[in-house]
Structure 1
Amino acid sequence: MQNASYLERRGQLETYFDRTAADAWSRLTSDAPVSRIRATVRAGRDEMRGVLLSYLPEDLTGVRLLDAGCGTGALSLEAAARGAEVVASDLSPSLVELARERAKDKPGAERIDFRVGDMLDPALGSFDFVVAMDSLIHYKPADLADILARLGKRAGAGIVFTFAPRTALLAAMHAAGRFFPKSDRAPSIEPISEERLRQLVAATPSLSQWQPGRSRRIVSGFYTSQAMELVPA
Structure 2
Amino acid sequence: MTTILVTGGTGTLGRLVVERLRADGHEVRVLSRHTPPYAVDLREGGPALDAAVAGVETIVHCATAPKGDEESAAHLIAAARGAGVAHLLYISIVGVDRIPFGYYETKFAVEHLIERSGLGWTVLRTTQFHDLVAKLLGTLCRSPVVPLPAGVRDQPIDAAEVAARLAELAVAPPAGRVPDMGGPEVRTFPSLARSYLKATGRRRPLLNVPLPGRAYRAFRQGHHLAPTEAVGKRTFEEFLRTRPQSSRRP
- Which structure's CA Rg is the greater one? 2
If the length of structure 2 is used for normalisation, what is the TM-score?
Answer: 0.30
If the length of structure 1 is used for normalisation, what is the TM-score?
Answer: 0.31
Q: Relative to total residues, which structure has the larger helix share, 1 or 2? A: 1
